[in-house]
Amino acid sequence: MHYKFGELALRILTKVSSDKLESVEAESKAKKVAFSAGLLQSGSQEFGPFETRKTLIYKKIFANAGNAYDSSTGIFTAPVNGVYFFRFYAHAHPTKQMAVSLHKNNQIQCSVFSRHPASNANGSNGVVLSLDKGDQVFTQLWENNWVYDDDLSYTSFSGFLLFQL
């Protein structure tokens, strides 16, 4: 085949651009990891107290891009190595002690606590974590503590991938 220089350059650029676009599209799809969930699907309820710590299972799914959050276990499992951001909120009624911690692979990363508030109390915390594929993140209600939720989703858990490593 005989190509003129301009035609050959155009074919090469088209092939390189096409390959690069496919690579960028694949990378973009892999990066779509985000979830947000409220504790209760509907109604209102106090949870606790329990004799042991309990993983909170958030049932009201607002978003679950990438399906990394499992609403049957309350556990987020990292689908890719990366840096992630997590935030959780907990709500307590008057006189009910509330303590909730966020865990990475069974190790506490951060917590919220309210000791027998005189009125309703809210706690929130957030953290940026470096996760390997398969690492698990979840929240737990401490033993002998309470949280409350209703249709307004006062108690919630969210997270998303900031960037891949």
Residue with tokens 């209760």: 40
Using an 8 Å Cβ cutoff, are 67 and 77 in contact? no
96, two tokens: 């009910």
pLDDT in tens, the chain (165 residues): 555 666 765 676 666 666 665 654 555 555 799 999 999 999 988 889 999 999 999 999 999 999 999 999 999 999 999 999 999 999 988 888 899 999 999 999 999 998 877 788 889 999 999 999 999 999 999 999 999 988 999 999 999 999 999
Nearest to 162 by CA among 83, 57, 101, 109: 83
